[in-house]
Structure 1
């Protein structure tokens, strides 16, 4: 493989929890040590995900400052290790939230193609420390990224780079449970929470052929957006007009993907919406890990399943990207210049995104 060495790695460095208040600083950083399993990417686009704010603000109390966040990376491969066969220099590529796993061996998850659940060698794309002194992982609010080739995927022709970026984390987070639980013709699907993740859930459920898709959120003011995304119906759980929503929609959905989580959310009512043998899948990660209590009888008497899901494997992501290209799926994004990343992060923090910000690198954002 051809290789380009001597790249200058620069990006928006978070140096403490105050970084989410517009205090990231542009500067150089040292990527992980190069190996022949790696790919260096010249970054053209990077989506902004809610978990970027968690990492920047030390919300999980393990941020290895200084950090560069961003894990919805799209760009051009400019250096490819000799052990990487599926990527060539010049390819348009993407990286999601995971940068490495143990790669198989004694790990049953990786051997089964479930690398996203590896607990023996998983490394996040941003904010992880590699084992054996290889360095840290730095994300996509930058000019360049270095990632293990196993987790670098090709972007299909016909899929715009800015539209591909949100698919790499937000999209795969909702696609994986929809596909696993049989979303398609004959199924009715509910998406709880209509934001960055939820709006992708609606688009993907429709693209997978669900007979009926219902958006579910608290406020009535999202009704127009949800129907504009292609949903067949909208439930506003806090609106007086929908006050009996749990009763009126009792046993009407086969699948619910929940993109939000809170100890105060009406979980019991959400479960009432499921048909017998229906599936409720949580993808929203709560800050404190707490959820409302669930009555054993709501599970037993309805035969329903409550599950969780994280991102997808590289194979899953590649499959999703081809679906997005084939079905011409268009996430609702707003492009923001990489140079204005601080203001974009603050706007994200204030909930202004409708529904996903994508940073565009002015130096490389033409491809």
Structure 2
């Protein structure tokens, strides 16, 4: 592999179904003087990866390497980089790899909302290069979007925090989650289980909502104070009228989620925040008559500073995502995506053994 001109990765290609990936080589993006090159050692498998390769959101290029919960070691630091990273540091990269860094939104710590947003994969840089993700040997990223990984966080457990964890942390912290705040978490999957962990670490009282009762034991073990099986208790909302301050919608699909019922659970001034991005055919629907003194909104990822804060919180409080590891490679990636499609994971996958697949780590 002629690094730094080419990287290797496990890609979904147009000539095969999404669950049959291939080992490929591809050109690295042009090096910017503030870029940092990272040799990858772990990468989380996010629901966004599945939605992307299955074509739920947008068209795929001829070959695409997904993955945006990247942990690895710095192997090169750009000549103009000034963030203090050095070769050998263990660092992380989330789902955003570039913004303009000049607009008002960037200056205010709202980089994910910048018009110059470039995602970790399947998004064009200003020069036209289509970004490639973390199921790969290396990644090259502007230093602003690289964060240090606290020493106490194992790489395979830190990885899911980099996107999934950040996606729920940002709306919680931005909407006042803390001691005395009552938070409802809708959907106990890859995002929802981390929302419970994080809300509890922030001091909130947490009510977990799931369709059935099969996840009750898990929810309580994660730290939820109460659990509601909404499909088994049709009038469950009668018990929770005006009880919650924040409802965070983390479900992978909006089918069967009656938002009007969740509005009833909110105190006046309460907020429903959705981080659910399902198939593009699904709609966020609710009755206009239900909106009485509450706010409905959404949240997109989180800033690099919020990611640093989240990792420090995890290190300080000791919470960890529930993770199953799989070796990266054609078989491992196929298994991870296929099992995720079936809901066969409690609650996140992290790909490991990158050195064996790509001959790195030397």
The alignment's TM-score, normalised by the length of structure 1, stands at 0.92
1:107-126 equivalence runs, <5 A: 107-119=103-115, 121-126=116-121
Please, which of 226, 245, 248 is the counterpart of residue 236 of structure 2? 245
Gap change, CA 1:82 and 1:184, over 3 Å in 2? same
CA pair 293-337 structure 1, distance change in 2 beyond 3 A:
closer
Task: Give 1:296's aligned residue.
Answer: 288
Q: List runs of 5+ in structure 2 lacking aligned partners.
A: none
* 3-state secondary structure, aligned to 1:147: strand
Cα distance in 2 for partners of 1:332, 1:366 equals 26
Question: Residues 17 and 249 from structure 1, CA distance in 2 versus in 1: closer, same or farther, beyond 3 angstroms?
Answer: farther
1:320 maps to 2:314: no
Q: Does the CA contact (< 8 Å) of 1:31 and 1:137 recur in 2?
A: no
Task: State the Cα deviation string for residues 209-248 of structure 1 (Å, max 9, x = none).
Answer: 11x2011010111111111111011000111xx3321101
Q: Structure 2 residue aligned with 1:155, among 143, 149, 156?
A: 149
**Residue 366 of structure 1: CA displacement?**
8.7
Deviation at 1:263, TM superposition (A): 5.3
Match for residue 300 of structure 2? 310
1:186-211 Cα shifts (integer Å, max 9, x gaps): 1111100000000000000000011x
8 Å CA contact 2:56, 2:280 repeated in 1: no
User: Matches of 1:132 and 1:292 in 2, distance apart?
Assistant: 35
- Counterpart CA distance in 1 for 2:39 and 2:3 is 12
**Equivalent position of 2:100 in the other structure:** 102
Select the residue among 168, 174, 187 that pairs with 1:174. 168
Identify the residue that residue 228 of structure 2 maps to in structure 1: 235
State the superposition RMSD in angstroms. Answer: 1.9
Deviation at 1:84, TM superposition (A): 1.5
Q: CA deviation at 1:98?
A: 0.4
SS in 1 for 2:280: coil
Instruction: Decide whether aligned partners of structure 1 residues 49 and 297 sit closer, same or farther in structure 2, where only a CA change above 3 A counts.
Output: same
Mapped to 1, the partners of 2:324 and 2:59 lie a distance apart of 30
Q: Distance in 2 between matches of 1:292 and 1:136?
A: 30
Q: Structure 1 CA distance, aligned partners of 2:351 and 2:94?
A: 15
Q: How does 1:1-367 map to 2 (within 5 A)?
A: 6=4, 8-16=6-14, 18-21=16-19, 23-86=20-83, 87-104=85-102, 107-119=103-115, 121-133=116-128, 135-210=129-204, 212-239=205-232, 242-260=233-251, 261-262=253-254, 264-288=256-280, 290-300=282-292, 303-339=293-329, 340-363=332-355
Q: Distance in 2 between matches of 1:73 and 1:342?
A: 18
Is contact 2:35-2:141 (8 Å) kept? yes
- Give yes or no for contact 2:42–2:354 (8 Å, CA) kept in 1: no
Distance 1:145 1:290, change over 3 A: same
Structure 1 unaligned blocks of 5 or more: none
Aligned partners of 2:151, 2:270: CA distance in 1, in Å? 37
Q: Is contact 1:17–1:57 with CA below 8 Å preserved after alignment?
A: no
SS class of match (1:94) = strand
Q: Quote the Cα distance in structure 2 between the aligned partners of 1:113 and 1:17.
A: 40
Quote how far apart the aligned CAs of 1:276 are.
Answer: 1.4
